[in-house]
Amino acid sequence: MVGLLMVREASTKELCLSFVGLFVGNSFECDGNSRVSTPTQAIPTEQPPFVDDPAAVCSGVISPASDLSDLSTPLVFQMILQLCAAVLSLLPVGSVTSALLVVMVVSLMVYNKRRARLVSLINRIPGPPALPFIGNTIELNVEHDELFTRLVSGGLMYPRGDGVVRGWLGAKPWVLLYKSSVAEVELFARVTGSTTLWGIHRGVNKAWMGTTPYLMLSKPAMLEPILASNKNIEKSQDYVYLRPWLGTGLLTSSGKKWHTRRKILTPTFHFKILEDFLDVFQEQSDILVEKLKHKVGKDPFNIFHYVTLCTLDIICETAMGRSVNAQGDSDSQYVKAIYEISSIVQCRQAKMWLQPDWLFKMTSLSNKHDNCVKILHGFSNKVIRERKEEIRRQKEEKLCSSPSAEDEALIYGRKKRLAFLDLLIEASQDGAVLCNEDIREEVDTFMFEGHDTTSAAICWALYLLGSHPEIQDRVVEELNYVLGDYDRRLVMKDFQNLKYLECCIKEALRLYPSVPFIARQLKQDVKIAHYTIPAGTTALIVTYMLHRNPEYFPEPEKFNPDHFLPENCVGRHPYAYIPFSAGPRNCIGQKFALLEEKAVIAAVLRNYRVEAVDRREDLTLLGELILRPKHGLNIRLQPRRS
């Protein structure tokens, strides 16, 4: 309370100006003679050197090099107290307003005290200067393409600190981990045209989103303590906006629920079950080939649209056992709802003012979002209900007629194909493990994760093969060698023998990972280099930059499938290449995805020669839910044979 009694030492106006001056980036001093001195020094962008003692960061004085987002120093406390005391002195004694103000001040002090350790640790990591409460939000409030450029180039921006850079988006700290060389900095600036480079750093960057710190990482050794952890498995807050649609399924859940779901779902991706899906992959690929016929020898077109509809048909049939016929009817309500809700989620992730639910509900997007969720849940619930009823009838018929095993395996004259839905219903043991809502969460999660990411991987691979005809020819030679007869179907052994095609797909995912960022909410402190990353920080792993590390991939910007020949993979750090994440929370469907990608690409290349139209340096990338080009990927098709 001493601060409350010192109010007479300076006028209310002086104290207000001092307080405001602190927050606008200057350190003002009250001289006690009813005047305010000029700013002592503007806060520069250089960060303070690394300090071993946390107390030294909060030493009682805000130095010119202190980050503006750090509101927890004793000087700030004193100024808050003095400002409130000045305001209280103008109010009637015992007024309700006075009491509320005191409560507010005390609450703010307690809040800041609790955050003092987090802020002090985060601010040791180099990064851009931040504003109070909003952090670096203004710098990142840009169009999606520029946002991706800034986040990626953030790993090349800051000249200090062993590969670690930090920043604030609001009062929330970000920390990025990177690993880049001088050559990469120059190359990135040339390719992206970025003028926001801060300098060279060595693998780590940070920023603040509101009050949450984000740590951006792209150095393999720095990722391992996070991705290999069985404790830090919680996804970041950015995934919250998917919950109205996906609930708390495998993608968005955490803790015990995630462990339970993962254990239940892992058997559904068994080798034998995946083998049953090969027919679906090839049937839908054949439809895609037929749809592309009218593009052969014509003007360039965007391949993304066609491939996305194909992968949507594949995942719907494999996940639910039903076809939405997206390739035949792209105007269906379900297909439109998936596209629209994905766009809305991306918008909420990028725009800070759309993130609070109460603000979002005041926008027109909220009604569109709710309508999409209604359509998507309605479709899933209907399929689950009908499939359960079908299984019930089959059990009753089995009891009455006791059919042979061969009869049970046949439905409408063909071998029964189990969808993921059937496997989930079987695992639910009549609701003992998974209720209808649980099943819907996982089916919807498969639908979301299984079409956009795979379609992006297929499109980037086709584009890169179209840009390198000599590599495309090698793939076609392998297809001809493995398959022999042009018209026969691929079997599992064929997929396993398409080694070079697999190298091409992996190389495409290296250059253009479907998911360019992986975000984790840290529940425990993590030691990275000589930094302690505190619990509460969001770790943003920048796979786009991680995969461009010349230490593991010579000539990292070159499309070179030989990077993934067995002899070139020996000794490579296990976290140097993670298109499907890594550790206990890696992608459960990565084998499914690789088989699907092989099937679709093989079908296209067996029928058409692909020619890329766009140059890589002319592409504008959008790092949203998936990594995609802003204006699509334009290609030409020529007939492979008459």
**pLDDT tens readout for residues 267-317:** 888 888 899 999 999 999 999 999 999 999 999 999 999 999 999 999 999
Average pLDDT over residues 201-216: 69
Rounded Cα gap, residues 204 and 178, in angstroms: 5
Average pLDDT over residues 574-582: 95
CB 175 within 8 A of CB 166: yes
Q: Name the band, by pLDDT with cuts 50, 70 and 90, for residue 558.
A: very high
Share of the chain above pLDDT 70, in %: 70
For every residue of 316-337, DSSP letters joined together read HHHHHS----TTT-TT-HHHHH
Strands 517-521 and 538-542: antiparallel
What is the identity of the amino acid at 452? D
CB 295 within 8 A of CB 426: no
CB 233 within 8 A of CB 256: no
Residue ranges making up the domain that contains 68: 2-122
Average pLDDT over residues 122-140: 75
Rounded Cα gap, residues 606 and 599, in angstroms: 11
Distances (CA, A) of 315 to 34, 321, 445, 586: 72, 9, 11, 19
Query: What pLDDT was estimated at residue 102?
Result: 72
Report DSSP state, residue 50: P
Average pLDDT over residues 107-124: 77
Does 264 share its domain with 116? Answer: no
| Within-domain flag for 448 | yes
CB 405 within 8 A of CB 415: no
Q: Name the band, by pLDDT with cuts 50, 70 and 90, for residue 56.
A: very low
Annotated binding site for heme: 587
| Within-domain flag for 152 | no
More confident residue, 510 or 220: 510
Does 118 share its domain with 265? Answer: no
Q: In which residue are the tokens 């103000």 written? A: 101
Closest CA relative to residue 175, chosen from 354, 22, 42, 47: 47
Burial (Cβ within 10 Å: 0-12, 13-18, ≥19) of residue 431: exposed
Average pLDDT over residues 386-401: 80
Query: What pLDDT was estimated at residue 429?
Result: 62
Rounded Cα gap, residues 36 and 34, in angstroms: 7
| Within-domain flag for 159 | no
Q: Identify the domain boundary among 104, 122, 140.
A: 122
Distances (CA, A) of 163 to 132, 157, 203, 454: 25, 10, 3, 31
Q: Identify the domain boundary among 88, 122, 156.
A: 122
| CA atoms within 13 A of residue 600's CA, in its CB half-sphere | 33
| Within-domain flag for 282 | yes
193-207, 366-380, 392-406, 577-591: which has the minimum mean pLDDT? 193-207
Average pLDDT over residues 120-140: 76
- Residue 555 region, left (φ>0) first, then alpha (ψ -120 to 50), else beta? left
Query: What pLDDT was estimated at residue 635?
Result: 97
| Within-domain flag for 172 | no
Does 118 share its domain with 259? Answer: no
More confident residue, 48 or 395: 395
Q: Name the band, by pLDDT with cuts 50, 70 and 90, for residue 62.
A: very low
More confident residue, 76 or 372: 372
Closest CA relative to residue 477, chosen from 606, 628, 620: 606
What is the identity of the amino acid at 556? P
Rounded Cα gap, residues 244 and 392, in angstroms: 30
2-16, 250-264, 508-522: which has the minimum mean pLDDT? 2-16
Query: What pLDDT was estimated at residue 156?
Result: 42
Dihedral angle sign, alpha carbons of residues 329, 316, 454, 347? positive
Mapping DSSP to helix (H, G, I), strand (E, B) and coil, where does residue 415 land?
Answer: strand
| Within-domain flag for 76 | yes
Query: What pLDDT was estimated at residue 178?
Result: 53
Total of domains in the chain:
2
Q: Kindly calculate the radius of gyration of the chain based on its CA atoms and give it in whole angstroms.
A: 28
| Within-domain flag for 475 | yes
Closest CA relative to residue 123, chosen from 68, 79, 74: 68
| CA atoms within 13 A of residue 32's CA, in its CB half-sphere | 2
Burial (Cβ within 10 Å: 0-12, 13-18, ≥19) of residue 187: middle
Average pLDDT over residues 377-390: 91
Q: Identify the domain boundary among 84, 103, 122.
A: 122
Does 449 share its domain with 596? Answer: yes
CB 605 within 8 A of CB 434: no
68-82, 272-286, 425-439, 562-576: which has the minimum mean pLDDT? 68-82
Length of the chain (residues): 642
For the stretch 493-552, pLDDT in tens is 999 999 999 999 999 999 999 998 888 888 899 998 788 888 888 888 889 988 998 999
Rounded Cα gap, residues 132 and 78, in angstroms: 17
Is the pLDDT confidence value at 138 over 80? no
Distance from the first to the final alpha carbon of the chain: 90
Q: What is the CATH number of the domain that holds 314?
A: 1.10.630.10
Closest CA relative to residue 217, chosen from 195, 232, 196: 232
Question: Is the entire prediction scored with pTM above 0.85?
Answer: no
Annotated binding site: 587
| Within-domain flag for 512 | yes
